[in-house]
Amino acid sequence: MVVEINLLEQKEKRNVLPFIILGFFVLVSLIIVVTLGFQRSQLVAQTEAKEERIQQIQQDQEKFTQPVDNEGTERDQLKDSLDQLKATIVPTIPFVERLVSLLPERGFFESFTLTGASEVTVVARFDTIKQAAKFTSTLNQESVISNVELASVETSVVDETEDLYDYQPRYIASYYLVLNESTLLSEKGLSE
C-alpha cells in the first residue's frame, strides 16, 4: 500500500448554502416583480379601455339628448300650430246642412271632403243635368262660397224601365268650392 502524504493545506470548502438561499430569494423576488408588473400593465390597459368606453357612452348620450332638446322645440311648434288651428275652426256642420237644403229632391252627396282650411270638394248625384246646373247656380249665389268650380259631370247608365226611386241618380257632378272664411265665421256657419 502506498501512503500519500499531502503536506499542502487543504482548502476549506466554502459553504454554498447562503448563496443558494440568496439566489432563491432573488429568483422568487424577480418572479414576483415580473408578475406584478404584468398584472399592473393589464389593469392599466383595462382601465384605459373602460375610460374610452365611458367616453364613447357619454358621446352617445349627448347625441341622444340633443334630439330630445329639438323635440321640445318641435313639440312647442306643434302646440302653437294646434292652438292656431283651434282658433280658426271652420264650422262645417251648419255649412253641410245648408248645402243639403240646396239639393233638389233626388239630389245626393256622394262625398264631402274638406281639403284645406277653406277648400271643399263635393261629389253630388242628380237625376237631370238641369238639376246639376241649378245647384251650381245656387252655390254661386251663396255668400259663404267665394268660388265655385264644376270640375266634372259624368253619367252612369240607368235602366229606363226601372222605377225612378229604385236607382241612384244618373249624373255625377264634382265641385270644387272655396269658402269665404270670414263670412262663414261671422255668420256662425249659416246658423241664422
Q: Which residues are CB-neighbours of 9 under 8 A, at least 6 positions away?
A: none
User: pTM here?
Assistant: 0.51
Do the beta carbons of residue 132 and residue 151 sit within 8 Å?
no
Bigger pLDDT: 84 vs 80: 80
Using the structure block, give the residue that is written with the C-alpha cell 322645440. 73
% the chain with pLDDT above 90 = 29
- Could you report the per-residue pLDDT of 8-50, keeping only the tens digit for each? 777 777 888 989 999 999 999 999 999 999 999 999 999 999 9
For 142, which DSSP code?
Answer: -
Mean pLDDT of 85-107: 80
Q: Distance between CA atoms of 177 and 121, rounded to whole angstroms?
A: 6
Segment (H or E) for 145: strand 145-155
pLDDT at 45: 96
Task: Using alpha carbons, select from 138, 146, 135, 139 the residue that is nearest to residue 182.
Answer: 146
Quickly list H helices, 3-113. 17-87, 92-102
- Could you report the per-residue pLDDT of 102-132, keeping only the tens digit for each? 888 888 889 988 877 778 899 999 888 899 9
Q: Distance between CA atoms of 38 and 44, rounded to whole angstroms?
A: 10
Is residue 190 very low, low, confident or very high in pLDDT (cuts 50, 70, 90)? very low
Q: Mean pLDDT over all residues of the chain? A: 83
pLDDT at 85: 74
The upper half-sphere exposure of residue 39, i.e. CA atoms within 13 Å in the direction of its Cβ, equals: 6
β-pairing, 171-179 vs 108-114, is: unpaired
β-pairing, 145-155 vs 119-126, is: unpaired
CA 58 to centroid of chain Cα atoms: 25
- Name the least confident of 3-7, 55-59, 115-119, 157-161: 157-161
